[in-house]
A = this chain, B = another copy of it.
Amino acid sequence: MVGTELLLGEIVDTNATFLARNLADLGIDVFYKSTVGDNLERISGVVRAALRRSDIVIMSGGLGPTDDDLARETVSLVTERPLEENPGVLRDLKHWFAERYGQTPMPDQNRKQALFPRGSQIIPNPVGTAPGFWLEKDNKLVIALPGVSHELRTMFTETVGPRLSSLGSGQVLVTRNLHFVGIGESSLQEKLADLLREQTNPTLALYASGGTVRIRMAVKASTRQVGLGQMKDLEAEIRKRTKEYCYGADGQTLEEVVAQRLVEQELTLALAESCTGGLIAHRLTNIPGSSAFLNRGYVVYSNQAKAEDLGVDPATLEQFGAVSAETAREMAQGARLKSQTDLGLAVTGIAGPTGATPTKPVGLVYISLATSGDTIVERHLWKGTREQVKNRTALMALKLLWQTTK
């Protein structure tokens, strides 16, 4: 991991976490991780040591256009392979700048991003200017990727991972994750106590974060198919005991599952958000094709907007306040009626740090879902920061939607 900023404690190194997890999934043992600043001598020392003790060295960072970006130079030095300009990459770089900035020519600085140690294979970067490279020498393999997270992730997922998996030992670590909402880590642990105690192959582990819990099953097997087969019975048993809480597996998100159900059941949705301020709409519109079910959303931050856009009765706002079961209900019904959708989902609450009253503390939230039949209203009281209250509220609103579309 190359970058002085990583040694200053100003950023947390999530690239390393991503790579470690993905390498584990490929059955490649990660024995060492080294972090070093943007200094040619020090990076070279680290890469030399890494090549002595490991078969594969993956580098992150140092592929940018500035003088500080030294990954190419280091690998060239250590492997004694001179840097050569790749005409195809240079053309792509120029094209990228032309497309983005019109007439502006590519800055001279960026020309170095087309340099690679002789014998490298290019790792395409579909989401940025810095391509990576893959260099084999003396039975060792060096892979250089950019430090920008989404570029590293895209390039690993699209190119590096598939190529590495074809190199491996024959055994792969197969993992499968199940995701839970509406149940705490300890309650889930109790339901599965005997399994957690006795289960060794596949192994089982629980991880909690931000209102959801993840169960991770892992097994080493000759192929992914065989590994998944070995986890089938265990998964069935877990699901049997926990089905009202398990919303998905592996990469699935709650909004994805909800979106899928709404599309399948041909249901349309309108949102009315106060304390989440657009977060529910943001999460649902992260799903491609969400326009099929999401007709619209209202971020009704003022009482005026609640009344004008959703038809909440000013008397309700006056009598019960903006944060109340009554207002939540009228917001959900109003959003549904106004948009002529099947469902209207509303949240109102006090995200903090200000806005609390003697009877309404920070973290008090009402969630309401209006359907063609009845209208549900839930009351919650969260602890935490403004962002945590927003996140937890959005999660529980999506959960309500998920439960209702079962």
Contact = CB atoms under 8 A, between A and B. Distances in A.
Given A13-B16, A33-B7, A299-B296, A148 B209 contact: yes
A241 interface: no
Interface string A262-306: 000000000101001111111011101111001111111110110
A284 B290 contact: no
Interface in A1-55: 4-14, 16-24, 30-39, 42, 45-46, 49, 53
A18 B9 CA distance: 6
A278 to B, nearest CB: 3
A163 interface: no
B277 A282 contact: yes
Given A186-B109, A280-B278, A383-B100, A309 B296 contact: yes
Interface in A109-154: 109-110, 127, 148, 150, 154
A305 B295 contact: yes
Interface string A187-199: 1011000001000
Given A24-B9, A34-B33, A277-B284, A301 B305 contact: no
Give the one of A42, A53, A288, A388 with max B CB within 10 A: A288
A206 interface: yes
A381 interface: yes
B127 A385 contact: yes
Contact of A20 (B8, B352, B388): B8
B37 A31 contact: yes
Contact of A30 (B7, B33, B284): B7
A353 interface: yes
A107 interface: yes
Contacts of A100: 381, 383
Given A36-B32, A66-B189, A189-B66, A297 B285 contact: no
10 contacts: A35-B35, A65-B185, A66-B189, A100-B381, A107-B184, A278-B278, A278-B279, A290-B301, A295-B305, A297-B297
